[in-house]
Amino acid sequence: MNRHMHVCLAGMLALLLAVPWSACSQPASLVGSAAPRISGTAADGVRVDVPVAGQVTVVAFWNSRYRLSLDALSGIERVYREYRSKGLVCVGVNDAGESSSSMNTVRASLGLTFPLVGGAVGPNAAAAYRLQGVPAVFIVDRSGDIDSAYGGWDKSVEAAVKQRVATLL
C-alpha cells in the first residue's frame, strides 16, 4: 500500500471516530409520533398492514448483507414467541428490497414465524421511518405511535425490546 493510500485511510478513520455515536442511532424524532404505514404482501403471501390498530407492533428493519440484521431477526423471533399469545405483532422489513425467494430462504434458515416484507415496499418503508442503517427496531404502541427506536443489535438491545414490549402489553 502506498503512502497516499495510508493517509486517505487514516483520514477516513479519523472522520468516523469524530462522528458521535448518537448519530448512528435511529431518529429519536420519530418517537412519540404516528408510525408510518407499511402495507404490502409478505414473502409468504400474508397481507401486512402496520401499524395494527390496538396492538403492540415490533417493526424490525433488516437485510441479508449484514449478519447483525439476521441476529436481530432471531432476537425478535424470541420476543415474538414469548409475547404473541398476548397480542404482539412483529414484522421484518427488508430495506434493500430483496426478493420473496431470498426472504423466504432467510425465514426458513432462522425459523422465523412472523412475516417478512420487502420488494418495493421495503425501501419505501425505510425512507418513511428515516432509516439510518440496519438492523433497526421500532416499537409501535397500541395507539399507533412509535414508542421507542433502537439501532444496532446485541443482548442489551434484545433485553430492552423485550422489557418495553412487556410493559406495553
Domain ranges of the chain: 22-168
Assign 61 a pLDDT band (cuts: 50, 70, 90): very high
- What distances in angstroms separate CA 100 from CA 52, 62, 66, 75, one per listed residue? 22, 14, 18, 21
When pLDDT is averaged across residues 68-87 and rounded to a whole number, the result is 97
**β-strands 89-94, 57-62 pairing:** parallel
Which amino acid, residue 11?
G
How confident is the model over 85-129, as pLDDT tens digits? 999 999 999 999 899 999 999 999 999 999 999 998 999 999 999
Contact 131, 94 (CB under 8 A): no
Grid cell listed for 11: 483520514
Question: Scanning the structure block, which residue is given the C-alpha cell 427506536?
Answer: 149
**All 3 cell numbers of residue 46?**
400474508
Are 73 and 106 a contacting pair, CB within 8 Å? yes
Q: Is 137 helix (H, G, I), strand (E, B) or coil?
A: strand
| H or E, element range at 68 | helix 67-83
The backbone region for 57, taken as left when phi is positive above 0, alpha when psi lies in -120 to 50, beta otherwise, is: beta
- pLDDT (mean) for 12-34: 53
Q: Does the pLDDT at position 13 exceed 80?
A: no
Q: Point out which residues pair with 134 in neighbouring strands.
A: none
Please tell me the CATH code under which domain 22-168 is placed: 3.40.30.10
Q: Around 44, how many Cα atoms within 13 Å sit in the side-chain half-sphere?
A: 14
pLDDT band at 30 (very low <50, low <70, confident <90, very high): confident
C-alpha to C-alpha distance for 134 and 151, rounded to whole angstroms:
7
Grid cell digits, residue 52: 395494527
